Structure 1
């Protein structure tokens, strides 16, 4: 929203000036632009990003991996492996390139990937750097959204400064936003006048003009932003009010008539208006009836001029909230909410462009959600009833309900709102990361997205978008990269038709709530697409549940480890349980061992979440069979011993296995085989009393050859009386999940692992599963 901070009240502010950074003036938008965003986060990988914000199905993606050797020694013939995953499964074969780097030197690798042909899917891209012996020394991830339109999974950003910038600067700004997978940009206050947005003519647009705040805007800067954004598959949304005209509209030759206006009285003498700050281009904005056909034809015609002159992709339509009772010039009461929908529908039909409308404080949400807008957008305010984390979730739920699940909701929620008043653009403060990340967790987990990033990687702290009194620390920038990677990688679990579930989530030893109460872990579940999705948002130690963290004083989270969880299934059975968090291991998925049970509350599963910082997500793959969960005992070796398993080694050779907590796949322990000399080792678990039928065996295994490759390294599955089936391991030092479907005919199944090594070979085993199909 442009002009007021809450419905019924107009906020007057001081004009803030932006210092435009003319970066990279002598460079093109290639590698130099990419490296401007790179920040060292480990011993080898400084950044991983892609060449576009999203991709059409089947489109080739370039994945850039920037390396700097900070290990302290030179590396010859190291390798970088890129793994492509949808949820916890590899989508396509991995790719590997070699590198050699002296200590302190840098290089960049480019991987290409032809994206799958399935539309509207998210992928996690895991990147591992290894030394010459194949040991992983660093990991960083990114994500890829394969979608043909941005409104299916919107990740909205903004631009609000259009001074005399070079093409390299505009390319750098959009490149940085692309690295957060921002797939659409709102061009805030780019226009000349609200009722005459285009300066100049369609045949000859003006080279420059002053916007409503008397800031100079340059045509070439607008065109450069549009061009670079389109190159990164980012949509460009031109901003304007739905019903505003500046002072002097009746004398400037525009043709706007006061008879189309909105009035405070019934005799057409008190037109609804708001005042603007001193020094701006006009003293007031005057408002018009969006249902008035003459106003509709006029404004949409002016917007068509904009689209003729500039290659925008859509119209971001704004309002200022609930004005109370308003009238036509002839005294009729105006239903603004239906008027909004009427104008928006006509704009969609006449312009043929993407249309997004700001339902300030949810005003008109039900009516416009049923219109032809392409996505929902709500600017939240306490005066309109949006105060808590739960309130944000309610806004997203209500938008989904009002649109019958067909439209996504973008939330405009300005963080640290009072705190920013202590600073200026010239002497900015820093956002409090603890408030920012919790609010993003609440919005993302609820199925929405948050417009917050723009303008040279600035973040919104105010409804006047050019206000940048607060800035992001480098650490928070990196954390937000993880959150946006997570939003993309798991978009099919977060906001792809999931609905709220009443299934109970119980945490042992941790205070929890189902409504986001202060000083609790907020838990809720959703279901859809064959999964139940559980969310845990950590508000422990926080005395308020207000999402804005207005004074920027929320504390760091009280981190919890090894949290026992009981989840009531409601219906069906759990086939697998997986855990992921943007705060843990760069957002990777980990399969969790679980047990099953039932009581008066129904059937449940129990599992342990390894770590909770701000936000954890657990997703349960559901089935309708009777097999329940994991049938193996001590499947993740979390007892710290071989309980349930039997080991074998040749006569005359000592056992060559161990259980420790180093380099586990998940949890606290894993099993490993190793010896410097030649050896053979096996472990297995025989399950009896099984119902006959189809079963799936899964295991995470990491096989590494520090010397010669093993002659045998495999998973073995054998139904009683049947032939053993072998799955050979890839010996490359990477954790990989192996899956085998077997048919049990005599009630028994043996699951095991075996290695025959020439020496200096490691086989690590974790998170083994046996599930009835």
Structure 2
């Protein structure tokens, strides 16, 4: 029996070697098949290779009154060599509640393109909403996304986001672009800081005019900025000081001023401005109220911004 054992072992080894060869061949075949399949990119891989992104979202107003239509611009940037079909969706939410979902097919091509979506939000006010935008393939794979928000308000003071502008030089031509940028940040009211001719006389017939600090300013620029703000639903508020006047005006009306215990007129700076008496019914207060009326009657400002300097504390 021992003489036949080596032969049996040889046969068993050959069988084992053959099985190993078959197994290795099967593994190689599977690997090759997998490589062959992976060489065909999925629809998602085709899109992603072309670097699709949402480069910007822009609502057309700083806020919306109940019943107003929202217009959303979606700016898309791609590196496509040709055209490809995709789906653009916008999900409207309030807190964790889904309010609506908009979806439309888009044709993507190389470079920049803009798609506009319009919808009517609920009329409940005040209320804020989120917008989650996505670009997807036909099979639902997400390619790009971005988010923004908007408010539905009866008036801007229900949810104020206050900014300011301070450049009113003649020939300024970027009013529209300025308000477009502010709208991206949902700024819904603007202080027009130091826009006036004088602190005691806001308007003048001069155009352009020189303000108290020696700057050349333009009423045309002021009006253009107001108009551009209103196009975006942004309120325009003119800066005023409740008790500041030029020294020249104080010298004409010394009895209107505010004095300290030593009988000295209160000042802002050494030779810049005098502090006037702002008590209700005072000559200065009546003069200032008349100035407010003139501003509101002759400009498109939406109200009056009142300021005070914090000093003096008494007079």
> Normalising by the residue count of structure 2, what TM-score does the alignment of the two structures yield?
0.79
Look up the SS of the partner of 2:91 in the other structure: strand
Residue 262 (1) aligns with residue 258 (2): yes
Residue 178 (1) aligns with residue 172 (2): no
Aligned equivalents of 2:201 and 2:170: distance in 1? 22
Aligned equivalents of 1:133 and 1:105: distance in 2? 24
Residue 274 (1) aligns with residue 231 (2): no
Aligned equivalents of 2:185 and 2:104: distance in 1? 25
Residue 191 (1) aligns with residue 175 (2): no
Matches within 5 A, 1:156-305: 156-167=162-173, 169-200=174-205, 206-250=206-250, 257-265=253-261, 269-275=263-269, 283-293=271-281, 294-305=283-294
Matches within 5 A, 1:378-393: none
* Partner in structure 1 of residue 126 of structure 2: 120
The Cα offsets for residues 273-323 of structure 1, whole Å up to 9 and x where unpaired, read as 0226xxxxxx32101121151221111101211112211001111111142
Task: Answer yes or no: is the 8 Å Cα contact 2:170–2:208 preserved in 1.
Answer: no
Instruction: Point out the structure with the larger helix share.
Output: 2
* Partner in structure 2 of residue 65 of structure 1: 74
Look up the SS of the partner of 2:185 in the other structure: coil
Aligned equivalents of 2:232 and 2:289: distance in 1? 28
Task: Answer yes or no: is the 8 Å Cα contact 1:75–1:132 preserved in 2.
Answer: no
Task: Answer yes or no: is the 8 Å Cα contact 1:194–1:246 preserved in 2.
Answer: yes
Aligned equivalents of 1:323 and 1:159: distance in 2? 27
Residue 96 (1) aligns with residue 103 (2): yes
Task: Answer yes or no: is the 8 Å Cα contact 2:84–2:108 preserved in 1.
Answer: yes
Aligned-pair distance for 1:133? 3.4
Aligned-pair distance for 1:75? 5.3
Instruction: Give unpaired runs (5+ residues) of structure 1.
Output: 1-41, 201-205, 277-282, 327-773
Task: Answer yes or no: is the 8 Å Cα contact 2:250–2:257 preserved in 1.
Answer: no
Aligned-pair distance for 1:89? 0.9
* Partner in structure 1 of residue 145 of structure 2: 139
Aligned equivalents of 1:156 and 1:244: distance in 2? 23
Task: Answer yes or no: is the 8 Å Cα contact 1:162–1:217 preserved in 2.
Answer: yes
**Pick aligned residue for 1:83 from 91, 105, 129:** 91
Aligned equivalents of 1:324 and 1:229: distance in 2? 36
Matches within 5 A, 1:36-55: 43-55=52-64
RMSD: 1.8
Aligned residues between the structures: 264
Aligned-pair distance for 1:324? 3.6
Which runs of at least 4 in structure 1 moved beyond 3 Å after TM superposition?
72-75
Task: Answer yes or no: is the 8 Å Cα contact 1:189–1:212 preserved in 2.
Answer: no
* Partner in structure 2 of residue 321 of structure 1: 310
Look up the SS of the partner of 1:314 in the other structure: coil
Instruction: Point out the structure with the larger strand share.
Output: 1
The Cα offsets for residues 463-513 of structure 1, whole Å up to 9 and x where unpaired, read as xxxxxxxxxxxxxxxxxxxxxxxxxxxxxxxxxxxxxxxxxxxxxxxxxxx
Matches within 5 A, 1:564-643: none
Task: Answer yes or no: is the 8 Å Cα contact 2:57–2:148 preserved in 1.
Answer: yes
Higher RCO, Cα 8 Å, sep 6+: 2
Task: Answer yes or no: is the 8 Å Cα contact 2:200–2:288 preserved in 1.
Answer: yes
Aligned-pair distance for 1:113? 1.2
> Normalising by the residue count of structure 1, what TM-score does the alignment of the two structures yield?
0.33
Look up the SS of the partner of 1:53 in the other structure: coil
The Cα offsets for residues 125-151 of structure 1, whole Å up to 9 and x where unpaired, read as 110011343311111011010001111
